[in-house]
Amino acid sequence: MKKGKKLYEGKAKIIYTTQDKDLVIQYFKDDATAFNNQKKSTIEGKGVLNNRISEHILSNLSQIGIKNHLVKRLNMREQVIKLVEIIPIEFIVRNVASGSLTKRLGIEDGTVLKEPLIEYCLKDDKLGDPLIAEDHIYAFEWATKKEIDKVKKMILRINDFMIGMFRGVGINLIDFKLEFGRVKTNGKNEIILADEISPDTCRLWDSKTDKKLDKDRFRKDLGGLIPAYTEVAKRLGILHEQSNISAVNVTKLSSVKKKNR
């Protein structure tokens, strides 16, 4: 698959065209941002780990019938994905209260929610991705009621699957963010899961110790982001138990791969 011109550059990924108009290449960068771009850094090896972890989760979701944009991983940092028309909403799914929810509503961090809670944020960096009500989506025609009903059903299945997958490896899935897009399949519009699912977009706490294994290590200056993401990858069986993947290792691996292409 040949990489064409840059179509879009986001905070953590770059999208390139390919010779197939329906497919694009998604490149995972090492850049980390938080608090609506106010905090920025580059963490060597993060993109490589997110590429692998996201590939693992999306291909497992595909196996349980959740259609998504992943076609295949190409190398350490890139995957081929379907080009979708993204719905401009970030769907936040919460099982345990943390992050913005605790600040906004004064709920204690770590409070277990009786039911999964779905929140909607408008994807608009200039506005700081504001929280919106479901009715805003219909009022401003960001998506139809039928689409949101479908998305909600998919979200609950994704959440059930991911809770189980992470529980099996001693990790609590606290919350995560999902994005969905429209594609035309055989002339019919369809909603599929898009974007990455990785420790950048989930809160993952070790079940025994509550140690944070996600981007909060960067947000809260806890350090040890690469070892935490590596731990997630190892527990999911993506990296071998004995492989001691450090930032340097990951970078080396990725440059070896580049040279070989």
Residues in touch with ligand UDP (CB under 6 A)? 90, 92, 99-101, 129, 175-177, 201-203, 215
Q: If 0-12 CB within 10 Å is exposed, 13-18 middle and 19+ buried, where does residue 79 land?
A: buried
Helix spans in 64-171 (H): 100-105, 134-139, 145-167
For residue 92, the one-letter residue type is I
Cβ-closest position to ligand UDP: 99
- Cβ proximity to ligand UDP: between 219 and 257 the closer is 219
- Cβ proximity to ligand UDP: between 38 and 260 the closer is 38
Placement of tokens 């450090």 in the chain:
246
Min CB(166)–ligand UDP separation in Å = 13
Min CB(118)–ligand UDP separation in Å = 11
Where do the DSSP E strands lie in 10-83?
Answer: 13-17, 23-28, 31-34, 39-42, 70-73, 78-82
- Cβ proximity to ligand UDP: between 69 and 203 the closer is 203
Contacts of 82 (CB under 8 A, 6+ apart): 22, 23, 24, 69, 71, 183, 192
Min CB(26)–ligand UDP separation in Å = 15
Min CB(90)–ligand UDP separation in Å = 6
- Cβ proximity to ligand UDP: between 83 and 89 the closer is 89
Min CB(35)–ligand UDP separation in Å = 7
Placement of tokens 């960067």 in the chain:
218
- Cβ proximity to ligand UDP: between 111 and 243 the closer is 111
